[in-house]
Amino acid sequence: MKLGKWVGLVVVLGSLYVLWQLRSLAIVVLAAILLANALSGVVRRFRKSGLSRPLAVLITLSLALLSLVAIIRVVVPPVLEQIEQLPTEVLQGIDRLSFWWMQLQERIDWPDSIAVPTVDDFAVQLPELANNLLGEGWSWFSNTVSGLLNSLLMIVLTLMLLANPDPYRQGVLRLFPAFYRSRADQILVHCDHVLQRWLKGVALDMVVTAVLSFVVLLSLQIPLALSQALLAGLLTLIPTLGAALSIIPPMAIALLDQPWKSVLVPVFYIAIYQFEHNILTPRLMHKASLPLPAVTLLGQLFFTLTFGLPGLLLSLPLTLVGQVWLAQVVLHDILNPWQSKS
Protein backbone atom coordinates (compact mmCIF):
# COMPACT_ATOMS: atom_id res chain seq x y z
CA MET A 1 0.00 0.00 0.00
CA LYS A 2 0.98 3.59 -0.54
CA LEU A 3 1.90 5.91 2.31
CA GLY A 4 -1.47 7.68 2.20
CA LYS A 5 -3.35 4.39 2.64
CA TRP A 6 -1.13 3.41 5.57
CA VAL A 7 -1.79 6.78 7.20
CA GLY A 8 -5.53 6.32 6.65
CA LEU A 9 -5.42 2.84 8.20
CA VAL A 10 -3.54 4.14 11.24
CA VAL A 11 -6.07 6.96 11.65
CA VAL A 12 -8.99 4.51 11.46
CA LEU A 13 -7.42 2.15 14.00
CA GLY A 14 -6.59 5.10 16.29
CA SER A 15 -10.16 6.36 16.05
CA LEU A 16 -11.52 2.92 16.94
CA TYR A 17 -9.21 2.77 19.96
CA VAL A 18 -10.37 6.21 21.15
CA LEU A 19 -14.01 5.20 20.71
CA TRP A 20 -13.37 2.05 22.74
CA GLN A 21 -11.86 4.06 25.58
CA LEU A 22 -14.84 6.46 25.46
CA ARG A 23 -17.51 3.77 25.11
CA SER A 24 -19.29 4.88 28.32
CA LEU A 25 -19.74 8.31 26.73
CA ALA A 26 -20.63 6.77 23.37
CA ILE A 27 -23.60 4.85 24.83
CA VAL A 28 -24.94 8.08 26.37
CA VAL A 29 -24.72 9.78 22.96
CA LEU A 30 -26.43 6.83 21.28
CA ALA A 31 -29.22 6.85 23.88
CA ALA A 32 -29.72 10.58 23.34
CA ILE A 33 -29.92 10.05 19.57
CA LEU A 34 -32.54 7.31 19.99
CA LEU A 35 -34.59 9.42 22.40
CA ALA A 36 -34.41 12.45 20.12
CA ASN A 37 -35.44 10.23 17.20
CA ALA A 38 -38.47 9.04 19.18
CA LEU A 39 -39.58 12.59 19.99
CA SER A 40 -38.84 13.88 16.49
CA GLY A 41 -41.71 11.79 15.14
CA VAL A 42 -44.12 13.77 17.31
CA VAL A 43 -42.44 17.04 16.31
CA ARG A 44 -42.93 16.21 12.62
CA ARG A 45 -46.63 15.60 13.18
CA PHE A 46 -47.01 19.05 14.72
CA ARG A 47 -44.95 20.57 11.91
CA LYS A 48 -47.37 19.11 9.36
CA SER A 49 -50.19 21.03 11.03
CA GLY A 50 -48.37 24.31 10.28
CA LEU A 51 -46.57 24.96 13.57
CA SER A 52 -43.02 26.31 13.63
CA ARG A 53 -40.28 23.97 14.81
CA PRO A 54 -39.57 25.78 18.13
CA LEU A 55 -43.27 25.69 19.00
CA ALA A 56 -43.59 22.05 17.91
CA VAL A 57 -40.57 21.10 20.05
CA LEU A 58 -41.97 23.01 23.03
CA ILE A 59 -45.36 21.29 22.75
CA THR A 60 -43.71 17.87 22.34
CA LEU A 61 -41.52 18.32 25.41
CA SER A 62 -44.48 19.63 27.41
CA LEU A 63 -46.58 16.61 26.45
CA ALA A 64 -43.71 14.25 27.28
CA LEU A 65 -43.25 15.90 30.69
CA LEU A 66 -46.99 15.85 31.43
CA SER A 67 -47.19 12.19 30.41
CA LEU A 68 -44.26 11.34 32.68
CA VAL A 69 -45.82 13.20 35.62
CA ALA A 70 -49.20 11.53 35.01
CA ILE A 71 -47.61 8.08 34.90
CA ILE A 72 -45.71 8.79 38.11
CA ARG A 73 -48.83 10.07 39.87
CA VAL A 74 -51.00 7.15 38.76
CA VAL A 75 -48.55 4.24 38.82
CA VAL A 76 -45.92 4.99 41.47
CA PRO A 77 -48.17 5.17 44.63
CA PRO A 78 -49.74 1.69 44.20
CA VAL A 79 -46.38 0.25 43.18
CA LEU A 80 -44.70 1.68 46.30
CA GLU A 81 -47.56 0.33 48.42
CA GLN A 82 -47.12 -3.10 46.90
CA ILE A 83 -43.36 -2.95 47.35
CA GLU A 84 -43.91 -2.18 51.05
CA GLN A 85 -46.00 -5.35 51.25
CA LEU A 86 -43.24 -7.42 49.67
CA PRO A 87 -41.22 -8.06 52.91
CA THR A 88 -44.40 -9.25 54.62
CA GLU A 89 -45.19 -11.59 51.74
CA VAL A 90 -41.63 -12.92 51.77
CA LEU A 91 -41.69 -13.52 55.53
CA GLN A 92 -45.01 -15.32 55.29
CA GLY A 93 -43.62 -17.41 52.47
CA ILE A 94 -40.53 -18.27 54.54
CA ASP A 95 -42.79 -19.36 57.40
CA ARG A 96 -44.68 -21.64 55.03
CA LEU A 97 -41.46 -23.06 53.62
CA SER A 98 -40.13 -23.65 57.14
CA PHE A 99 -43.32 -25.49 58.07
CA TRP A 100 -43.10 -27.65 54.95
CA TRP A 101 -39.43 -28.31 55.66
CA MET A 102 -40.19 -29.45 59.20
CA GLN A 103 -42.87 -31.79 57.88
CA LEU A 104 -40.41 -33.17 55.32
CA GLN A 105 -37.80 -33.74 58.02
CA GLU A 106 -40.34 -35.66 60.09
CA ARG A 107 -41.22 -37.93 57.17
CA ILE A 108 -37.68 -38.50 55.88
CA ASP A 109 -34.87 -39.99 57.95
CA TRP A 110 -31.94 -37.73 57.01
CA PRO A 111 -28.40 -39.16 57.29
CA ASP A 112 -26.27 -37.60 60.00
CA SER A 113 -23.79 -36.41 57.37
CA ILE A 114 -26.32 -33.94 56.00
CA ALA A 115 -26.24 -30.76 58.06
CA VAL A 116 -29.21 -28.46 57.57
CA PRO A 117 -28.35 -24.82 58.29
CA THR A 118 -30.21 -23.25 61.21
CA VAL A 119 -31.09 -19.66 62.04
CA ASP A 120 -28.05 -19.50 64.36
CA ASP A 121 -25.80 -20.48 61.47
CA PHE A 122 -27.14 -17.60 59.41
CA ALA A 123 -26.73 -15.22 62.37
CA VAL A 124 -23.02 -16.11 62.58
CA GLN A 125 -22.58 -15.08 58.93
CA LEU A 126 -24.36 -11.72 59.33
CA PRO A 127 -21.31 -9.69 60.53
CA GLU A 128 -19.24 -10.83 57.55
CA LEU A 129 -22.14 -10.05 55.21
CA ALA A 130 -22.51 -6.58 56.77
CA ASN A 131 -18.81 -5.86 56.29
CA ASN A 132 -19.02 -6.87 52.64
CA LEU A 133 -22.02 -4.62 52.11
CA LEU A 134 -20.28 -1.68 53.76
CA GLY A 135 -17.19 -2.30 51.66
CA GLU A 136 -19.32 -2.08 48.51
CA GLY A 137 -21.10 1.06 49.72
CA TRP A 138 -18.68 3.54 48.15
CA SER A 139 -18.72 1.68 44.86
CA TRP A 140 -22.53 1.77 44.84
CA PHE A 141 -22.54 5.49 45.66
CA SER A 142 -20.05 6.37 42.92
CA ASN A 143 -21.96 4.29 40.36
CA THR A 144 -25.20 6.02 41.36
CA VAL A 145 -23.68 9.49 40.96
CA SER A 146 -22.16 8.49 37.63
CA GLY A 147 -25.52 7.17 36.45
CA LEU A 148 -27.28 10.40 37.43
CA LEU A 149 -24.69 12.52 35.63
CA ASN A 150 -24.94 10.35 32.52
CA SER A 151 -28.74 10.65 32.62
CA LEU A 152 -28.50 14.44 32.90
CA LEU A 153 -26.04 14.55 29.99
CA MET A 154 -28.36 12.36 27.92
CA ILE A 155 -31.30 14.71 28.56
CA VAL A 156 -29.26 17.79 27.61
CA LEU A 157 -27.98 16.14 24.42
CA THR A 158 -31.51 15.04 23.54
CA LEU A 159 -32.80 18.60 23.88
CA MET A 160 -29.97 19.93 21.70
CA LEU A 161 -30.54 17.31 19.00
CA LEU A 162 -34.28 17.87 19.05
CA ALA A 163 -34.10 21.66 18.96
CA ASN A 164 -31.79 21.93 15.93
CA PRO A 165 -30.82 18.55 14.41
CA ASP A 166 -29.60 19.78 11.00
CA PRO A 167 -26.09 20.97 12.04
CA TYR A 168 -25.41 17.67 13.82
CA ARG A 169 -26.69 15.70 10.84
CA GLN A 170 -24.47 17.68 8.46
CA GLY A 171 -21.52 17.14 10.78
CA VAL A 172 -22.04 13.37 10.62
CA LEU A 173 -22.33 13.48 6.82
CA ARG A 174 -19.03 15.40 6.56
CA LEU A 175 -17.29 12.37 8.05
CA PHE A 176 -17.98 10.53 4.77
CA PRO A 177 -16.16 11.14 1.47
CA ALA A 178 -17.77 13.84 -0.70
CA PHE A 179 -18.92 11.37 -3.37
CA TYR A 180 -20.77 9.24 -0.77
CA ARG A 181 -22.50 11.95 1.32
CA SER A 182 -25.79 11.93 -0.60
CA ARG A 183 -25.93 8.15 -0.31
CA ALA A 184 -25.11 8.32 3.42
CA ASP A 185 -27.96 10.81 3.83
CA GLN A 186 -30.34 8.30 2.22
CA ILE A 187 -29.16 5.60 4.62
CA LEU A 188 -29.73 7.91 7.60
CA VAL A 189 -33.29 8.53 6.40
CA HIS A 190 -33.80 4.77 6.11
CA CYS A 191 -32.48 4.30 9.66
CA ASP A 192 -34.90 6.96 10.86
CA HIS A 193 -37.86 5.14 9.29
CA VAL A 194 -36.78 1.80 10.78
CA LEU A 195 -36.37 3.29 14.26
CA GLN A 196 -39.72 5.09 14.09
CA ARG A 197 -41.43 1.83 13.13
CA TRP A 198 -39.63 -0.02 15.92
CA LEU A 199 -40.53 2.61 18.53
CA LYS A 200 -44.22 2.44 17.66
CA GLY A 201 -44.15 -1.35 17.77
CA VAL A 202 -42.26 -1.65 21.05
CA ALA A 203 -44.49 0.96 22.74
CA LEU A 204 -47.61 -1.02 21.87
CA ASP A 205 -45.87 -4.27 22.83
CA MET A 206 -45.06 -2.87 26.27
CA VAL A 207 -48.65 -1.75 26.87
CA VAL A 208 -50.19 -5.03 25.67
CA THR A 209 -47.73 -7.16 27.64
CA ALA A 210 -48.26 -5.15 30.84
CA VAL A 211 -52.08 -5.26 30.53
CA LEU A 212 -52.25 -8.99 29.77
CA SER A 213 -49.75 -9.80 32.54
CA PHE A 214 -51.79 -7.74 35.02
CA VAL A 215 -55.00 -9.57 34.02
CA VAL A 216 -53.30 -12.97 34.43
CA LEU A 217 -51.72 -12.17 37.80
CA LEU A 218 -54.91 -10.58 39.07
CA SER A 219 -57.00 -13.59 38.00
CA LEU A 220 -54.56 -15.91 39.81
CA GLN A 221 -54.71 -13.59 42.86
CA ILE A 222 -50.93 -13.32 43.01
CA PRO A 223 -49.69 -10.48 45.26
CA LEU A 224 -47.99 -7.41 43.77
CA ALA A 225 -49.73 -7.90 40.42
CA LEU A 226 -49.39 -4.28 39.27
CA SER A 227 -45.66 -3.91 39.92
CA GLN A 228 -44.89 -7.28 38.32
CA ALA A 229 -47.02 -6.46 35.26
CA LEU A 230 -45.19 -3.14 34.83
CA LEU A 231 -41.87 -4.97 35.12
CA ALA A 232 -42.98 -7.42 32.41
CA GLY A 233 -43.90 -4.49 30.15
CA LEU A 234 -40.55 -2.77 30.68
CA LEU A 235 -38.59 -5.97 30.07
CA THR A 236 -40.21 -6.14 26.63
CA LEU A 237 -37.43 -3.74 25.63
CA ILE A 238 -35.03 -6.67 25.97
CA PRO A 239 -35.87 -9.24 23.29
CA THR A 240 -35.70 -12.94 24.19
CA LEU A 241 -33.97 -12.44 27.56
CA GLY A 242 -36.63 -10.02 28.83
CA ALA A 243 -39.36 -12.65 28.54
CA ALA A 244 -37.37 -15.12 30.64
CA LEU A 245 -36.45 -12.51 33.25
CA SER A 246 -40.05 -11.30 33.66
CA ILE A 247 -41.27 -14.79 34.60
CA ILE A 248 -38.94 -15.19 37.60
CA PRO A 249 -40.47 -12.67 40.08
CA PRO A 250 -44.14 -13.78 39.74
CA MET A 251 -43.08 -17.44 39.90
CA ALA A 252 -41.13 -16.81 43.10
CA ILE A 253 -43.98 -14.90 44.76
CA ALA A 254 -46.52 -17.47 43.56
CA LEU A 255 -44.37 -20.22 45.06
CA LEU A 256 -44.42 -18.40 48.40
CA ASP A 257 -48.18 -17.86 48.14
CA GLN A 258 -49.53 -21.10 46.64
CA PRO A 259 -47.10 -23.54 44.97
CA TRP A 260 -49.60 -24.66 42.31
CA LYS A 261 -49.82 -21.09 41.01
CA SER A 262 -46.10 -21.09 40.19
CA VAL A 263 -46.85 -23.75 37.55
CA LEU A 264 -49.57 -21.68 35.87
CA VAL A 265 -47.57 -18.43 35.76
CA PRO A 266 -45.01 -19.56 33.12
CA VAL A 267 -47.79 -21.17 31.06
CA PHE A 268 -49.72 -17.90 30.83
CA TYR A 269 -46.59 -15.78 30.35
CA ILE A 270 -45.35 -18.00 27.52
CA ALA A 271 -48.77 -17.69 25.87
CA ILE A 272 -48.58 -13.87 26.18
CA TYR A 273 -45.12 -13.70 24.64
CA GLN A 274 -46.07 -16.10 21.86
CA PHE A 275 -48.98 -13.83 20.99
CA GLU A 276 -46.74 -10.76 21.13
CA HIS A 277 -43.89 -12.34 19.13
CA ASN A 278 -45.83 -14.26 16.48
CA ILE A 279 -48.95 -12.13 15.96
CA LEU A 280 -48.57 -8.59 17.30
CA THR A 281 -44.95 -7.75 16.40
CA PRO A 282 -45.08 -8.99 12.76
CA ARG A 283 -48.18 -6.85 12.18
CA LEU A 284 -46.49 -3.75 13.59
CA MET A 285 -43.12 -4.18 11.88
CA HIS A 286 -42.25 -5.59 8.49
CA LYS A 287 -40.58 -8.95 8.83
CA ALA A 288 -37.81 -7.80 6.52
CA SER A 289 -36.73 -5.13 9.02
CA LEU A 290 -36.60 -7.47 12.01
CA PRO A 291 -33.23 -9.12 12.70
CA LEU A 292 -33.08 -12.89 12.77
CA PRO A 293 -33.27 -14.37 16.31
CA ALA A 294 -29.62 -15.46 16.20
CA VAL A 295 -28.56 -11.99 15.01
CA THR A 296 -30.59 -10.39 17.80
CA LEU A 297 -28.96 -12.65 20.40
CA LEU A 298 -25.47 -11.94 19.07
CA GLY A 299 -26.25 -8.22 19.07
CA GLN A 300 -27.34 -8.43 22.70
CA LEU A 301 -24.13 -10.23 23.62
CA PHE A 302 -21.91 -7.78 21.74
CA PHE A 303 -23.52 -4.57 23.03
CA THR A 304 -23.78 -5.92 26.59
CA LEU A 305 -20.08 -6.85 26.66
CA THR A 306 -19.19 -3.46 25.16
CA PHE A 307 -21.50 -1.08 27.05
CA GLY A 308 -22.83 -3.11 30.00
CA LEU A 309 -26.48 -2.90 31.08
CA PRO A 310 -27.28 0.19 28.92
CA GLY A 311 -26.00 -1.74 25.93
CA LEU A 312 -28.39 -4.59 26.73
CA LEU A 313 -31.35 -2.20 26.89
CA LEU A 314 -30.41 -0.55 23.59
CA SER A 315 -29.23 -3.70 21.85
CA LEU A 316 -32.24 -4.14 19.55
CA PRO A 317 -32.37 -0.58 18.10
CA LEU A 318 -28.59 -0.58 17.70
CA THR A 319 -28.78 -3.96 15.97
CA LEU A 320 -31.50 -2.61 13.66
CA VAL A 321 -29.34 0.38 12.72
CA GLY A 322 -26.29 -1.85 12.22
CA GLN A 323 -28.34 -4.15 10.01
CA VAL A 324 -29.44 -1.21 7.84
CA TRP A 325 -25.89 0.05 7.36
CA LEU A 326 -24.57 -3.46 6.65
CA ALA A 327 -27.31 -4.16 4.10
CA GLN A 328 -27.05 -0.79 2.35
CA VAL A 329 -23.27 -0.26 2.36
CA VAL A 330 -21.78 -3.75 2.16
CA LEU A 331 -24.46 -5.68 0.29
CA HIS A 332 -26.05 -3.00 -1.91
CA ASP A 333 -23.18 -0.59 -2.61
CA ILE A 334 -20.15 -2.92 -2.59
CA LEU A 335 -21.10 -6.53 -3.32
CA ASN A 336 -23.95 -5.92 -5.79
CA PRO A 337 -21.77 -3.86 -8.19
CA TRP A 338 -19.14 -6.63 -8.07
CA GLN A 339 -21.81 -9.18 -9.00
CA SER A 340 -23.09 -7.05 -11.90
CA LYS A 341 -19.54 -6.62 -13.27
CA SER A 342 -18.93 -10.36 -13.19
Give every CB contact of residue 238 below 8 A, 6+ residues apart in sequence.
245, 300, 312, 313, 315, 316
Report the distance separating Cα 216 and Cα 262, nearest Å. 12
Number of folded domains that form the chain: 1
Q: Tell me the pLDDT tens digit for each residue of 250-281.
A: 887 777 767 778 788 888 888 888 887 777 76
Q: Residue 41 burial by CB count (10 A; 0-12/13-18/19+): exposed, middle or buried?
A: middle
Q: Is 129 part of any domain?
A: no
* 220 belongs to a structural domain: yes
Asked, for residue 99, whether it belongs to a domain, the answer is: yes
User: For residue 250, is it within any domain?
Assistant: yes
Confirm whether 145 is domain-assigned: no
Cα separation, 253 vs 215, whole angstroms: 16
The residue type at 11:
V
13 found inside a domain: no
Beta-carbon contacts of 204 under 8 Å, excluding residues fewer than 6 positions away, are: 280, 284
* Domain membership of residue 172 as a residue range: 24-103+150-341
Give tens-digit pLDDT for 176-222: 888 888 998 999 999 888 888 888 888 888 888 889 989 988 888 88
The predicted model gives 52-59 an average pLDDT of 85
| Structure confidence by residue, pLDDT tens digits, 108-140 | 655 554 454 554 555 555 566 556 655 555 566
pTM beyond 0.75:
no
In 3D space, the residue among 35, 32, 39, 38 whose CA is nearest the CA of residue 56 turns out to be: 39
Residue 9 lies in a domain: no
The pLDDT of 289-297, averaged and rounded, is 77
